[in-house]
Amino acid sequence: MIDLHGYGPRLLEGALVTIELGVLSLILAIILGLLTASAKMSRNRLLHGIGTLYTTIIRGVPDLVLMLLLFYGGQIGINQVTDLLYYQFDIDIFININAFVAGVVTIGLIFGAYMGETFRGAFLAVDNGQIEAARAYGMTERLMLRRIRFPLMMRHALPGLSNNWMVMLKTTALVSIIGLVDMVRVAEEAAKATHEPFTFMVPVAIIYLLIASVSEWFFSRLQKRYNVGFGEAE
Amino acid sequence: MEQLFAWLSDALADNTVFNFNTLTFYGRGLVNTVQLVFLSLVIGLVLAVPLSIARGSKHKWIKLPIFFYTYVFRGTPLLVQLYMIYYGVVFIDGIQDTWLWYFLKEPFYPALAAFTLNTAAYTTEIFHGAIKATAKGEIEAARAYGMSHRLMMRRIIIPSAFRRALPAYGNEVIFMLHASAIASVVTIMDLTGAARFVYARYYAPFDAFLFVAAIYLCLTFAILYLFRYLEKRLLAHLRPVS
């Protein structure tokens, strides 16, 4: 067994942070992605414009720059707002951005844009006949979305979704730069302290590969579930 | 040029953050970023072409190591790869006495190595996918002409596969530009490094990072249009008849 110089438990804690961060940002990104997709498909020009601007800008700027901007700039921005509230309306609140929240918000915000594109393409790929049939049954828009469009859309969205998740998982490593103690951060500190970079970086890489493999399996199961009725007869 | 400098210093006279000094930082950062990304993409491309062909080989002992390489480099964060190379290279026994040390003591070359290996892995998979997706009819036609495997590769499969890989490769180039921002972590003064320096010096996160975001956005659009132009030229035969 390799000697982790007592950094083992901290490394596992870091891995937990990585997973938590990934899952929470994935949820945020899916919500934002669905909102963006509906904004971009709406007939309202303002909503369409906002959606397009959001996806274009986010996808044109590096993740790290956005993360630094939101992490360092976010606190100053919020302080300015709370100062204004205090002077104008005498409301005294103090909001402190911690690195974890900043990380979740930034990664969610970034991948919301990518998810938006995935969902938009998937919604457009749903067969028109299905929607016509639902209308013919007299379904309301809401019921149609729940029973027809969403489940059919997911079949097309899943490959993109799993791809985005894999990229996102690797992006979570960047939070170590803004001071969040994920497993990369622990490994870096340990490598610097012990002068044994490979002892710590290799396990971290293996954990990433492990998470990726497990999620690949999970997504293939999910894909099978949503493919029901589309495959060939057995 | 003199006039330009004079005009610039006039225009920036009452701006505290963007003075002549910080703009030169951004300028040097731009040069570093472009150098790093361009070199790693070119070397990565040169490595990826033979690797992608070998990736589709019939022999397991050729195919599997390349698959392993792409799997590892695509499955782990670039930051971890960068740390491994940047911190790890120092500990190879006796490397500090060889001529290699002349290059490796600067952070630029370990970063270049990490980026190159990373982009080569992604590009190999992109090309491999395109080669695998070659239409059966094209291969059958080439066989019917009596082409050898090598000739078929050179004349039929590679030209058509690499053209079809162009859109995906364009994405990879943009991805690489964005990924290069982490070079600032190992003390390279790239664009993001310049922004971090300006932020730390003036405590002005919005000015520092929004400006650099705008530069990245411009670079992204430049790459996007270049690839759109290339696709128009090289994929003209695939466009639907309007």
**pTM of the prediction?**
0.87
Identity of the amino acid at A57: I
Question: Is B20-234 assigned to CATH 1.10.3720.10?
Answer: yes
| Identity of residue A98 | N
Q: Which residue of A has its CA nearest to B87?
A: A197
Cα–Cα distance measured from residue B137 to residue B104, given in angstroms and rounded to the nearest whole number: 49
What count of CB pairs under 8 Å joins A to B? Answer: 113
Q: Could you read off the pLDDT tens digit of each residue along chain B, which spans 242 residues?
A: 777 777 767 766 666 777 777 888 899 999 999 999 999 999 999 999 999 999 988 899 999 999 999 999 999 999 999 999 888 877 776 667 777 777 777 888 889 999 999 999 999 999 999 999 888 898 999 999 999 988 998 899 988 888 889 989 999 999 999 999 999 988 888 999 999 988 888 888 888 899 999 999 999 999 999 999 998 888 887 777 76
**Does residue B67 sit at the A interface (CB-CB below 8 Å)?**
no
Contact by Cβ (8 Å): B40, B119: yes
Specify whether the CB–CB gap between A14 and A182 falls below 8 A: yes
- Taking a C-beta distance cutoff of 8 angstroms, is the pair B123, B74 a contact? no
B84 close contact with A: CB closer than 8 A: yes
Instruction: Give the residue from chain B lying closest to A63, CA to CA.
Output: B178
Q: Kindly provide the ipTM of the predicted complex, given to two decimals.
A: 0.86
Nearest CA in chain B to A172: B77
Using the 8-state DSSP alphabet, how is residue B147 labeled? -
Classify each residue of A4-18 as buried b or exposed e, where b means 16 or more C-beta atoms within 10 Å of its C-beta: beebbebbeebbebb
| Among the partner residues A59, A62, A198, nearest to B84 by beta-carbon distance | A198
Angle between the B108-132 and B20-55 helix axes, to the nearest 10 degrees?
A: 40
**Nearest chain B CA: its distance from A19 CA (Å):** 14
Residue B7 three-state SS = helix
Quick check: B80 and A209 CB within 8 A? no
A73, A174, A195 member nearest B206 (Cβ): A73
Yes or no, beta carbons of A198 and B220 under 8 Å apart: no
Whether residue B78 and residue A209 make contact (CB cut-off 8 A), yes or no, is no
Taken in order of first residue, the domains within chain A and their CATH numbers are 19-181 (1.10.3720.10)
Q: Is A198 within 8 Å of B83 when comparing Cβ atoms?
A: no
